[in-house]
Amino acid sequence: MLDTLPLPRGQYTQLRMSPDGRRLAVQQRMPVGGWQIVMLDLETGVTQRLPFEGDVKVFPAAWGAGGQEMLVGIFHPAANRFLEARLYRFATASWETVTGPMGSYMVTSPDGQDVAYSDFRTGELFYRSLRDSDTHTPIPGQGFAASYSPDGQWLAWGGTNGGVLVSPMPPTGATYTVTDRGQQPLWTADGSRLLYRDGRRFYEATVDGRGGPAAFQSGRPRLIAEGSFLRTLGWTHTIGRDGRLAALISAPGDATRELGVITGFDHDLRRRAPSQRDP
């Protein structure tokens, strides 16, 4: 079942679901220029905008542990470079600049202590403490759009070679290939599956990291959804703890976009999905 979210058609990207699955943060390009972050309460339909000024591209990078903070990335389009990251605290409506090295596709660990990110030019992966800016540690492999497993023990990302890879955290040097075609992987709430996009199709693969860094296993991917899903460089989908999948959909006949939520992801789509991956 596909529902349209109560947001007007527009230029959206960078979808990020809150840890409790109640709020959705998106980046919106304004008709007169500039960008803003809009948060939608999925239960009430009420929207909230994060206050931010300046001719920069601001995007919701990741929710902090408990959903009380949001890590925001700031990019300067004219200079084509990443400027900085800031933390927005909802309780005090205040900003804090995050010092030290940072990059694109930032994602925080489940406990809110670490952040992983990519060099947007090379795809080199790093992670560091969100509070300590002195050092950052390379992650083996190259790619974008990483995500932590719910227990924080694994990191998945879309590799520059076109596949989905997984590495233990902290890194040991080992990497595991889940699929040779896919981008923007996300873990389900119980950590048993990885959801990822391949063009206009969504797939899932079972994963098992309970045996530790040397015993990671993944199952054969299978198709779960196909449609007019939008393809952009930023995050185009996100998944909630209840299994709802929010994805950007191309509006026919023009360049606008709308947001849709697949409410039956865990049950209806899995029931109707084919048993094998399409060629």
Average pLDDT per run of 10 along the chain, which is 279 residues long? 69 88 88 83 88 81 88 82 86 90 90 92 92 87 94 95 95 94 94 93 92 83 87 83 78 53 45 34
Question: At CA 190, angle to CA 231 and CA 89, rounded to 5?
Answer: 70
pLDDT reported for residue 172? 92
pLDDT reported for residue 204? 94
pLDDT reported for residue 252? 56
pLDDT reported for residue 181? 95
CA distance 276 to 278: 6
Sign of CA dihedral 15, 86, 19, 195: positive
Radius of gyration of the chain (CA): 18
pLDDT reported for residue 229? 83
Supply the pTM of this predicted model.
0.87
CATH code at 2-272: 2.120.10.30
Beta bridge partners of 71: 62, 87
Please tell me the chain's helix, strand, coil percentages from 3-state DSSP, rounded to the nearest 5. 5, 50, 45
Residue 273 burial by Cβ neighbours in a 10 Å radius (0-12, 13-18, 19+): middle
pLDDT reported for residue 272? 35
Domain ranges of the chain: 2-272
Look-up of token digits 């230029």: 11
Beta bridge partners of 29: 11, 35
At 5, which amino acid appears?
A: L
pLDDT reported for residue 258? 56
For the chain, the residue count is 279
